[in-house]
């Protein structure tokens, strides 16, 4: 048998890219590639890229500059660009960096093996179609290798919401849900390989319609899989939080009490300009209903500051919303103009204004995050242990609220859920003892 070829994948951006990178590695596994952890002696480098903000997209070109040196030293090294920058910029990438051999958009990963063959023959390969066939249908069945205790599983992709700032409807395409049978089979395979917690992924995961009862219907089916102990899902849109899904948060024991529910802004005027299709009050009412169903649920969110037209008062409305809702953790970003999106036509705010607002919002969100973490001290939580800590005898896992928890524990706890009493809250982690 010939030596396996070495594949290095660098993943940027969201969790869906993490999932996609795994699937690409599996697809190329069939062509004799094994995945390696450094680019230095790789035969192929794939960059799985993100286009959501300008900074993320620009990173691709600076990183390609670095990989170029490796290719100069090893001319048969193949370099590919996958993901949302590949989709958005296609052949432009090769024009800017001619040493790139392959450009593949997120909906064409199942065509990678054929593209790899073309590249080996010295051709360039570009595929940024939105093909009819389901890529997951064509991609290899997931191998039965032993896996860590947690896994991502994409159930829905793309978006039809067209928020005025967002490239996702263009890079990932229209909203498509995978049929429930395939998801349930994949979940059962993951559990058989050792997975205890599955995070269902979708750009609009709660718009999932591959089950007649929506995402809640799928969650209840997954609930029946023995050995699967935890279910999470991300990312959701407020307008798709239906009654059944809210209820599941109160009644499905396997569904974890954590919800990432981005609102982006607290100003009605900006929400409208963003095309979010709900008001600030709609969001408050929704949060109240979710908290009625599951009072201890930890909320997470995304915010954009400096959207075109945002006044001091609009920004204050966002700060007020954050104060009223109280987030366990959240992400905040400066508005970034994305070519081709409706908001790109509008006048930009000065950078100093955006920086000031971002700082103020991040300070408030950090304060809330620290307070939430501190409130866990003295409480008991359930931890799914995932790996050994850096300190001798320590194991690390996640609580039901997605906090990283460190505890002194034997290595055997890996892959199991244990009760832990929280003793201390540190930056970004909790420390406790097994009960
Ligand atoms: N500028 C800044 N942030 C953005 N996001 C999406 N598009 C943009 C943009 N053009 C943020 C949103 C979204 C998260 C994934 O990224 O908050 O929820
Ligand atoms: Fe982008 Fe999310 Fe809006 Fe869809 S719902 S356009 S993915 S921000």
CATH code for the domain of 339: 3.30.750.200
Please give the mean pLDDT across all residues of the chain.
Answer: 94
State how far the Cα of 427 lies from the Cα of 434, in Å rounded to an integer: 21
Query: What is the extent of the structural domain holding 116?
Result: 5-127
Higher pLDDT, 82 or 137: 82
111 and 165 together in one domain: no
Domain assignment of residue 134, yes or no: no
Domain assignment of residue 404, yes or no: yes
389 and 345 together in one domain: no
Domain assignment of residue 268, yes or no: no
150 and 208 together in one domain: yes
State how far the Cα of 8 lies from the Cα of 101, in Å rounded to an integer: 15
Q: Which residue, by CA, sits nearest to atom 17 of ligand 1?
A: 302
3-state secondary structure 279-310: CHHHHHHHHHHHHHHCCCCEEEEEEEECCCCC
Ligand 1 pocket residue status of 262, Cβ below 6 Å: yes
Nearest to 401 by CA among 223, 227, 252, 232: 232
Please choose from 304, 335, 339 the residue to mutate so as to test ligand 1's pocket, defined by most ligand atoms within 8 A of CB: 304
CATH code for the domain of 206: 3.30.750.210
- pLDDT confidence of residue 349: 97
Domain assignment of residue 95, yes or no: yes
Q: How far is the CA of 261 from the centre of ligand 2 (A)?
A: 12
Domain assignment of residue 397, yes or no: yes
CA atoms within 13 A on the CB side of 3: 5
Nearest to 419 by CA among 394, 382, 387: 382
Confidence of residue 146 (pLDDT cuts 50, 70, 90): low
Domain assignment of residue 283, yes or no: no
388 and 407 together in one domain: yes
Domain assignment of residue 276, yes or no: no
Domain assignment of residue 133, yes or no: no
Give residue-wise pLDDT tens across range 122-139.
999 999 988 766 676 666
CATH code for the domain of 55: 3.40.50.12160
Residues having CB within 6 Å of any atom of ligand 2? 159, 161-163, 166, 168-169, 203-204, 237
Give residue-wise pLDDT tens across range 167-207.
999 999 999 999 999 999 999 999 999 999 999 999 999 99
Mean pLDDT of 401-415: 97
Q: Which two tokens stand for residue 357?
A: 């607002």
399 and 429 together in one domain: yes
170 and 199 together in one domain: yes
121 and 172 together in one domain: no
Q: Does the pLDDT of residue 342 top 60, yes or no?
A: yes
Of 79, 100, 127, the residue that ends a domain is: 127
Ligand 1 nearest-atom number relative to CA 167: 7
Q: Which two tokens stand for residue 118?
A: 């073309």
Domains: count for the chain: 4
230 and 338 together in one domain: no
Of 338, 360, 375, the residue that ends a domain is: 375
346 and 386 together in one domain: no
Give residue-wise pLDDT tens across range 199-256.
999 999 999 999 999 999 999 999 999 999 999 999 999 999 999 999 999 999 999 9
């Amino acid at each position: 048998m010939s030596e396996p070829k070495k594949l290095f994948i660098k993943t940027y951006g969201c969790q869906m890219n993490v999932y996609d990178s795994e699937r690409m590695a599996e697809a190329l596994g069939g062509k004799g590639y094994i995945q390696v952890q450094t680019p230095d002696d790789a035969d192929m480098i794939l960059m799985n890229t993100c286009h959501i903000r300008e900074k993320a997209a620009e990173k691709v070109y600076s990183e390609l500059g670095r990989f170029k040196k490796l290719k100069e030293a090893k001319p048969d090294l193949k370099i590919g660009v996958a993901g949302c920058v590949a989709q958005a910029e296609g052949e432009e990438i090769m024009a800017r960096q001619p040493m790139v051999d392959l450009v593949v958009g997120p909906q064409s990963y199942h065509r990678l093996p054929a593209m790899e063959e073309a590249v080996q023959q010295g051709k360039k390969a570009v595929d940024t179609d939105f093909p009819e066939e389901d890529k997951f249908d064509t991609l290899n069945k997931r191998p039965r290798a032993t896996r860590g205790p947690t896994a991502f599983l994409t159930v829905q992709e793309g978006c039809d919401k067209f928020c005025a700032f967002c490239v996702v409807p263009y890079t990932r395409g229209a909203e498509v849900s995978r049929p429930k049978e395939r998801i349930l089979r994949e979940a059962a395979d993951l559990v058989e390989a050792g997975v205890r917690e599955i995070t269902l992924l979708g750009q609009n995961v709660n718009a999932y319609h591959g089950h007649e009862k929506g995402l809640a219907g799928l969650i209840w089916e997954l609930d029946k899989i023995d050995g699967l102990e935890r279910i999470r899902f991300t990312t959701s849109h407020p307008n798709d939080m239906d009654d059944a899904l809210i209820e599941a948060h109160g009644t499905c024991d396997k569904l974890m009490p954590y919800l990432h529910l981005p609102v982006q802004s607290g100003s009605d005027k900006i929400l409208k300009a963003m095309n979010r299709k709900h008001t600030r009050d709609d969001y408050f009412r929704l949060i109240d209903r979710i908290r009625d169903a599951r009072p201890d649920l930890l909320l997470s969110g995304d915010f954009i500051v400096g959207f075109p037209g945002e006044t001091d008062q609009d920004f204050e409305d966002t700060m007020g919303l954050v104060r009223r809702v109280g987030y366990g953790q959240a992400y905040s970003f400066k508005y970034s103009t994305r070519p081709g999106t409706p908001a790109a036509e509008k006048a930009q705010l000065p950078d100093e204004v955006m920086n000031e607002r971002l700082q103020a919002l991040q300070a408030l969100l950090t304060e809330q995050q620290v307070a939430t973490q501190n409130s866990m001290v003295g409480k008991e939580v359930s931890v799914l242990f995932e790996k050994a800590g850096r300190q001798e005898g320590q194991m690390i896992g996640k609580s039901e609220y997605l906090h990283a928890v460190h505890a002194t524990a034997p290595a055997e706890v890996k892959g199991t859920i244990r009760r832990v009493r929280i003793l201390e809250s540190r930056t970004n982690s909790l420390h406790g003892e097994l009960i």
